[in-house]
Structure 1
Amino acid sequence: MGILESFKTIEVESPVDKIIRQIRDLIIAGYLKAGDKLPSERKLSEKFGIGRTHIRNAIKKLEFYGILTANPQSGVIVNGADMVAMIGLITNVMKIESPDFFSLVETRCFMEVFSVQQAAVRRTENDILKLREALANFEEKVMNNLPAEQEDFIFHLKIVEACHNSVIKALMLIVLPDILEIYRREKVCVKEEAEKSLNEHQNILEAIVNQDSDVATDYMNEHLKDVLEFSKRKLNL
């Protein structure tokens, strides 16, 4: 092995990672416990000396992983969980490399197809209720011409939960937040596309309810075509 191979790549932390690291350290030290409320975005922004967008993105990422819960009335609350598992998860959030957008989307698509296949077989009545609720929330946003990226992804996450595979769910929670952030930034969910997506979601849910795995898979593959094409265009592939 040559001298060059002995050197390690220098990893530069993003502002979001630095915020996550400080929250992790406060949890480890016991200063942040389940039920504790974080300071406001404004106060955190002033304390860290960075823009509120970075604060908001860190909170959204930790909320997606179930570590924090953001409530418009009560603020951002630390969730109750096994502390060792939570610390490990936060560490993993920061250690994950930043793959290109196409790789994220491609990985998501592989897992989505598996998830919908299994969800059609394994879903429970409770899963169906959660899927219907998620779809109704998405439809409400679309019909009112409001941003619906979050509701879109929550519907997909409920499909993953309905497949009852904890590993797949954990992997999806790794790739979805970064995809969601790019979607928000690129304003992917315009009204026409959102309405098309709504119709496809309805078809997917109907196939899951009917426990028709083949039809559910076909609908999901069709639904994901536009996502893959968008990611390819973004990288000029």
Structure 2
Amino acid sequence: MKEKYLNTFKEIILEKPVDKIIQQIKELISSGQLKPGDKLPSERALSELLGVGRSHVRDAIRKLEFYGILKTLPQSGTVVAGLGITALEGLITDVLQMEGRDFYALVETRVLLETNAARFAALRRSDDDIVAISNSLSDYEKAVSSGGDSVEYDLLFHLKIAEASKNPVLKSLMLIITPDILTHFKKNNVCAGNRPVSALEEHYKILDHIKKKNSEKAAESMRSHLQEILNFSTNENPLEKNNGKRK
């Protein structure tokens, strides 16, 4: 008898601080308290007002800037973009509803960005870049050896490669999309088991190609390295499931 009630339960989704900040900004825009051209308080002031860390405020602002909802002007601070309220509301709703196929799109975009980051890094890297990438890889290896959480060190390794690409826009895009991907991976324990060890070997292969300035092999190794997370996100994508596709 009890089983008939099982389907009535719904998963409780805990909102992230970044999403709550974005939601508050949407409400202020909808109510007319924030209008296009209005200036937002500083990161520090917003952090104190909202009772959250500055990193959460910074991530929310960065995400809203990426979608053109906010823009930061030199010596003027962050302001609401000069779009109509209806357009702004629609954009913010899109930002807050990135689930399912949108997660697949995030991962697919990450693969595109990082493949090219590795290619450009091999072509443009300096000796200092090699040192920075190597140091981040050593930190990752220590985390893997200790059996601790190595996800953040993994991200740092990839960001150092993006820096070596000498394309600041590419790095900025990675900083925008990667936190959501990592949150999803941690929630679903994607990087468990022996995956960090095999990833470490793949990292050394990528670094070796960048050292040797072999751009195509660096790009190919990065694409191969990210294939597993692309496969995981494919399984998470409703459209891929419905169409019976597998990449």
Short-chain TM bin: 0.5 to 0.7
The correspondence for 1:154, drawn from 156, 164, 169, is: 156
Q: Quick one: distance in 1 between partners of 2:19 and 2:55?
A: 7
Could you tell me which amino acid in structure 1 is paired with residue 233 of structure 2? S
Distance 1:199 1:95, change over 3 A: same
> Per the alignment, in what secondary structure is the counterpart of residue 188 of structure 1?
coil
Could you tell me which amino acid in structure 1 is paired with residue 56 of structure 2? I
- Counterpart of 1:62 in structure 2 is 59
Q: Quick one: distance in 2 between partners of 1:113 and 1:191?
A: 25
Q: Quick one: distance in 1 between partners of 2:102 and 2:43?
A: 35
- Counterpart of 1:140 in structure 2 is 142
Q: Quick one: distance in 1 between partners of 2:225 and 2:219?
A: 10
TM-superposition CA deviations, 1:117-170 (whole Å, max 9, x none):
110000112211221121111111111111111111121111111111122122
Could you tell me which amino acid in structure 1 is paired with residue 108 of structure 2? E
- Counterpart of 1:121 in structure 2 is 123
Gaps of 5+ in 2: 1-14, 29-38, 63-72, 82-87
Could you tell me which amino acid in structure 2 is paired with residue 101 of structure 1? F
- Counterpart of 1:105 in structure 2 is 107
- Counterpart of 2:197 in structure 1 is 195
Pairing 1:183–2:185 present: yes
Could you tell me which amino acid in structure 2 is paired with residue 165 of structure 1? N
The correspondence for 1:163, drawn from 162, 165, 175, is: 165
Which of the two has higher C-alpha Rg?
Answer: 2
Distance 1:61 1:141, change over 3 A: farther
Q: Quick one: distance in 2 between partners of 1:168 and 1:94?
A: 25
Contact 2:121–2:161 under 8 Å retained in 1: yes
Pairing 1:216–2:218 present: yes
Superposed displacement of residue 33, structure 1? 6.4
- Counterpart of 2:69 in structure 1 is none
Q: Quick one: distance in 1 between partners of 2:216 and 2:175?
A: 25
Superposed displacement of residue 84, structure 1? 4.7
Task: Using the aligned pairs only, state the percent identity.
Answer: 31
Contact 2:21–2:57 under 8 Å retained in 1: no
Distance 1:29 1:232, change over 3 A: closer
Q: Quick one: distance in 2 between partners of 1:177 and 1:86?
A: 22
Aligned residues: 197
Gaps of 5+ in 1: 1-13, 45-54, 66-80
